[in-house]
């Protein structure tokens, strides 16, 4: 199988990967983006994105498509394929997909992290249609309505508190009879009149028509099954953790609980290998922070390549 050499290969076509590709292509690097599913990553599951600077509101899939179009217009290549092997420790990085093999001087890993799913019937069907995994993205759509939050850790309680700025009432569904969140967050939640708790329960099924309209819960102690319905739309926010897409890089890249360790310049522990977006150890995972990571990673990849080739690195220029 013939190997194709690139200056920069970016693994993942979400906001982090596409921003990195934009900066790489504008820097005249021979740039390739490899995406296994659809451009845009997780934002394609968001019906309306209204917190991206300069854009009033846009469908998530449309934003992903616009990002890809801009990247390709600047000269980056984009392929849909699945990476099955990555050799990153040597100076020349080797990426093997189901279809081809590639080589690169530098690699940016931007394969993202997926929200951990409940795994119940109806969840996939109503994702983005009443079910959300991002309060910052979608809480405002439930102004004056009731919301159900699934989870009991720090992220679930923190997000539930945020949602109270918009929702009429927030019901936290937790599979245990005590929260796992920090004591500080717990106190804030217990003291908030807008929050109540449904203990010892899991979501058994989600039903609806065009949107989610019925929530079926099971009490794990009593076995009782009950349905929650409403004449008004209601939101279901799921915060039970994330699963970073980094398994392929285990044994090469330093990680913590599956998340890749980087410095502020997006360097990993391997020379010429950078990471950007939700798979990094970080506290905020938003479209805009992913884009920021991608830009920083690409600028530093350009610098790395220039120094390896003995060229003077002049820094990224806006007129490139």
User: Which domains are seen in the chain, by residue range?
Assistant: 3-115+242-308 (3.50.50.60), 123-238 (3.50.50.60)
What is the DSSP code (8-state) at residue 28?
T
Query: What pLDDT is stored for residue 319 in this prediction?
Result: 46
Would strands 259-260 and 255-256 be described as parallel, antiparallel, or unpaired? Answer: antiparallel
Task: Label residue 157 exposed, middle or buried (CB < 10 Å: 0-12, 13-18, 19+).
Answer: buried
Given the residues 134, 200, 278, 293, select the one marked as catalytic. Answer: 134
Residue 138 known to be catalytic: yes
Between CA 250 and CA 260 the distance in angstroms is 10
Closest CA to 83 of 40, 124, 112: 112
Query: What pLDDT is stored for residue 80 in this prediction?
Result: 96
Given the residues 7, 120, 138, 158, select the one marked as catalytic. Answer: 138
C-alpha distances out from residue 168 to 92, 188, 193, 227, 239, Å: 56, 17, 10, 20, 19
Residue 137 known to be catalytic: yes
Give the tokens for residue 90. 């040597």
- Give the 3-state secondary structure of residue 302: helix
Given the residues 56, 81, 120, 137, select the one marked as catalytic. Answer: 137
Per-residue pLDDT of the chain (320 residues; tens, 9 = 90+): 566 899 999 999 999 999 999 999 999 999 999 999 889 887 776 667 878 899 888 888 899 999 999 999 999 999 999 999 999 999 999 999 998 999 999 999 999 988 899 999 999 999 989 999 988 788 999 999 999 999 999 889 989 999 999 999 999 999 999 999 999 999 999 999 999 999 999 999 999 988 999 999 999 999 999 999 988 889 999 999 889 999 999 999 999 999 999 999 999 999 999 999 999 999 888 899 999 999 999 999 999 999 988 876 556 555 44
State the residue for tokens 């398994």.
Answer: 247
Query: What pLDDT is stored for residue 46 in this prediction?
Result: 67
Residue 120 known to be catalytic: no
Task: Label residue 21 exposed, middle or buried (CB < 10 Å: 0-12, 13-18, 19+).
Answer: buried
The answer to whether 139 and 162 are in contact (CB under 8 A) is yes
Strand partners, 275: 109
């Amino acid at each position: 199988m013939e190997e194709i050499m690139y200056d920069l290969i970016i693994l993942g076509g979400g906001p982090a990967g596409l921003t990195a590709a934009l900066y790489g292509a504008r820097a005249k690097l021979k740039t390739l983006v490899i995406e296994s599913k659809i451009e845009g990553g997780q934002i394609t599951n968001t019906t309306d994105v209204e917190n991206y600077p300069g854009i009033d509101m846009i469908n998530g899939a449309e934003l992903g498509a616009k990002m890809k179009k801009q990247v390709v217009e600047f000269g980056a290549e984009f392929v849909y394929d699945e990476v099955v092997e990555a050799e990153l420790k040597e100076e020349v990085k080797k990426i093997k997909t189901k279809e081809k093999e590639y080589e690169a001087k530098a690699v940016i890993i931007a394969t993202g992290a997926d929200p951990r799913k409940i795994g119940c019937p109806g969840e996939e069907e109503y994702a983005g249609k009443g079910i959300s995994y991002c309060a910052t993205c979608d809480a405002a759509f439930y102004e004056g309505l009731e919301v159900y939050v699934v989870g009991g850790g720090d992220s679930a309680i923190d997000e539930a508190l945020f949602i109270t700025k918009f929702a009429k009432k927030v019901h936290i569904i937790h599979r245990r009879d005590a929260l796992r969140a920090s004591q500080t967050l717990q106190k804030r939640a217990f003291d908030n009149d807008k929050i109540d708790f449904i203990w010892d329960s899991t979501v058994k099924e989600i039903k609806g028509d065009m949107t989610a309209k019925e929530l079926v819960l099971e009490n794990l102690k009593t076995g009782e099954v009950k349905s929650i319905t409403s004449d008004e739309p209601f939101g279901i926010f799921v915060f039970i953790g994330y699963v970073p897409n980094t398994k392929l890089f285990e044994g090469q890249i330093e990680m913590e609980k599956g998340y890749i360790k980087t410095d502020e310049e997006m360097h990993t522990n391997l020379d010429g290998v950078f990471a950007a977006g939700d798979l990094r150890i970080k506290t905020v995972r938003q479209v805009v922070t992913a884009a920021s990571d991608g830009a920083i990673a690409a600028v530093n990849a350009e610098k790395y390549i220039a120094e390896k080739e003995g060229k003077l690195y002049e820094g990224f220029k806006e007129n490139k």
